[in-house]
Amino acid sequence: MPRNRPLLSHRFVANRRRFLKGSLAVATVLPAASRMTFAQGGQVNIYNWDTYIGENTVANFTEATGNEVRYDLFASNDELFAKLREGNPGYDVIFPSNDFVERLVAADRLIQLDHSKIPNIANIDQKFMEAEFDQDRAYSLPYFWGTIGVGYRKSATEGMEPKAWADMFDSDQYAGRMSLLNDSDVIEVALKYLGLSLNSSDPKEIDAAAEALIKAKPNIKAFAPDTGQDLLIAGEVDVCMEWNGDILQVMGEDDDLAYVVPEEGSILWEDAMAIPKDGPNPDGAHEFVNYILEAEVHGEIASEIKYPCPNKAARDGGFIPEEDLADSSIYPSDETLARCEVAVFDPVKDDLKEKALTRVLAA
Amino acid sequence: MESWRQHQLVFWAFLLPGGLWLVLFFLAPLSLIWAFSFGERAGVVDIAITGTLSNYIEAFDPLYLKIFWKSFWIAAAATLVALIIGFPVALAISFAPPTLKPILLLLVILPFWTNLLIRTYAMIAVLRTRGYVNFGLEGLWDGASTVGEALGLGALPRFQPLVLLYNDAAVIIGIVYVYLPFMVLPLYATLERLDRSYLEASLDLGAGQIRTMASIVVPLAKPGIISGIILVFIPALGMFLIPDLLGGPDSQMIGNVIERQFKAANNWPLGAAMSFILLYITFGALALRSYWSRDDV
């Protein structure tokens, strides 16, 4: 459920939550390879996060199935939801995060998947097939997943590396060198810091989370709209709350950076593939989803974009590099994951958290 | 001049395209948002227009009032700075040689050819700890330190970069940077039309430059000053991009809250009510403007 906060994204290396690129690349029509004419195939309209697919995946799909692809980008779940809010503007496959799968189902915007047309479902790790946000995976199938955690600069935090949210909220050791996300995820994280469930809808608990953040606020340099990794790599902050993929990307550019999922646990998210209602080519959409779930294809994307992959066959088949699988900043240990939670969609809770966030930012 | 009444067909032919455009793309969407402000959420995407005032009551929660107030003073401060910077610029352009004027005006308008977001990112690169302002200052500081050492005065302590970003001042700088042309252009328009013989008369009659400026130029430029203030203040009041990117932990403005209602919070009725409160304030400001300039016609 990574999301690109407000407006447009901005970053110059691969990352799917890039405001600027996302909004500028309004309609990226795929190049030469996909323009070849195939008598049998139709066109599949994909709507995905930026830089969230393999370089050749789409061209290979066209070659394998004869379907041409029109590929559009969104920068945030909010943008995706806004696009589909008043009806489907012509997309066949979309990539919403877990709570937005729920939101889209509640808004009656997704069709039920025909599992018989997607035999590669068998490749998916069984634990992803029992998702709370989508019982029996009737509407969505997992694409990639990840965590929200803490990115930090090793040299600047030597001997006091952040291990827990408490290291950031209780102490002033990183005073003026910390950034947090400026959306309601920060409230969820504060709930985890207090040892509570991040899905709490108890106003008292959410208030306590807001109070904890207000108390920590003097030490915080900025509430960043998903730009923490930019602040980190630019040296503006040494510790920041961010999406794993964002930090991983800057870790590729700067060895001095690291990522950790705090001890108290954190937000676990999943981006799913779903088929919106009234799309022009539902059969092609099923074909695309099935193609992605092929062990080799899914593994190849994973090796490129470095997000954790839910495809068991891809892992077992050796399509994902061993060093990635062993890297705890990509695949956190089961022990760590056990302390994390997936956010569920709950309008009551979301309203409370929204207001708590406004209160924190206004304090 | 012939009255439009005698050429009704011509009148309507000219009015229709613009009128239709306004109705379809301005009044209709605005009315819809206005209706939402009296609605309640019914499900995830549906809004039932029930005529409720609960959104307005909610918008007057002290929490939001505090943010309205904060937005108000940030916008006011930015407007004041823009006026202080913009007035001399407009004056200089209006007194520049005629060949130079178009170029100077172009320089004022030029930043508009770049996207607002890009300009705001440019400000980050200028203001951040390892940004150009601090690099420049560090260079000067090191230079002074070297000179001091050479003169036997000892070196200065290490340069401490200024904290220019992630606070309210950065938001004000950003707003001034972005909206300065809105201040300069109306000021220029009035100053350009100013009858120079008044200035000569004032100077001939013994008033100094400062007295002439205060008693002649500024009062005559009043319509431009008021237009400039309104053109800067109103968009600044609803700004959300700049506080998001340049602001500190508490630089949230009402525009940010409204943006979240329409996006993450999915609470369009509350967002609509807040937007309309801003709009009512705008109407108030425009009414005041016409009240102030009622004798200037």
- B-chain CB neighbours of A347 within 8 Å are 41, 44, 266
pLDDT for the residue numbered B296: 55
Whole-angstrom distance, CA of residue A88 vs CA of residue A71 = 15
**Element (H or E) spanning A347, and its range?**
helix A347-362
- Comparing alpha-carbon positions, the chain B residue that sits nearest to A103 is B44
**pLDDT in the model for residue A12:** 35
Phi, psi angle pair for A269, to nearest 5°? -130, 160
Cα–Cα distance measured from residue A94 to residue B94, given in angstroms and rounded to the nearest whole number:
55
pLDDT of residue A31: 40
pLDDT in tens, B174-199: 999 999 999 999 999 999 998 889 98
- DSSP E strands in chain A: the ranges are 28-29, 43-49, 68-74, 93-94, 140-153, 178-181, 220-224, 239-243, 257-260, 267-274, 341-342
Mean per-residue pLDDT over chain A, rounded: 87
Q: Which residues of chain B fall below pLDDT 70?
A: 1-2, 295-297
pLDDT > 90: percent of chain A: 74
d(CA B258, CA B249): 18
Residue-level pLDDT at A20: 40
- List beta partners, residue A240: A151, A179
pLDDT of residue A14: 43
Whole-angstrom CA distances from A335 to A263, A269, A282, A332 are: 10, 16, 39, 8
Predicted pLDDT of residue A266:
95
Give the angle B259-B264-B268 at the CA atoms, nearest 5°: 60
Work out the number of other CB atoms within 10 angstroms of the CB of residue B94.
20
Interstrand relation of A140-153 and A267-274 (parallel, antiparallel or unpaired): antiparallel
Give me the residue from B45, B249, B265 closest to A222, CB to CB: B249
Whether the CA torsion A135, A140, A142, A146 is positive or negative: it is: negative
Average pLDDT score over residue span A201-207: 96
Is B44 an 8 Å CB contact of chain A?
yes
Quote the pLDDT of residue B9: 87
Angle, helices B222-237/B168-193, rounded to nearest 10 degrees:
150
Query: Is the pLDDT reported for residue A39 higher than 50?
Result: no
pLDDT bucket at A2, cuts 50 / 70 / 90 = very low
Q: What does the pLDDT read at residue B1?
A: 53
Q: With DSSP H G I counted as helix, E B as strand and the rest as coil, what are the percentages for chain A, rounded to 5?
A: 40, 20, 40
Strand (E) or helix (H) holding B275: helix B268-292
Residue B152 is predicted with a pLDDT of: 81
A180: β partners: A223
DSSP of A198-266: TT---HHHHHHHHHHHHHHGGGEEEEESS-HHHHHHTTS-SEEEEEHHHHHHHHTT-TTEEEE--TT--
Q: Does the beta carbon of B62 lie under 8 angstroms from any beta carbon of chain A?
A: no
Bridge partners (DSSP) listed for residue A29:
A70
Of B174, B167, B193, B69, which is closest to residue A218 (Cα–Cα)? B167
Query: Is A32 a residue whose pLDDT tops 80?
Result: no
Q: What is the pLDDT of residues A105-160, one digit of tens each?
A: 999 999 999 999 999 999 999 999 988 899 899 999 999 999 999 999 999 999 89
Tell me which of A215, A221, A232 to substitute to probe the interface with B (most B C-beta atoms closer than 10 Å): A221
Residues of A in contact with B261 (CB under 8 A): 354
User: How near does any CA of chain B get to the CA of A296, in Å?
Assistant: 36
Q: Tell me A135's DSSP state.
A: G
Query: What residues have CB less than 8 Å from B253, skipping those under 6 apart?
Result: B67, B70, B71, B74, B171, B237, B238, B239, B240, B243, B247
- C-alpha–C-alpha distance, residues A225 and A278, integer Å: 33
The tokens for B256 are 């940010």
B191, B217 contact by CB (below 8 A): yes
pLDDT level of residue A41 (50, 70, 90 thresholds): low
Read off the pTM.
Answer: 0.85
Of the two residues A33 and A210, the one the predictor is more confident about is A210
pLDDT computed for residue A50 by the predictor = 87
Nearest to B63 among A78, A85, A362 (CB): A362
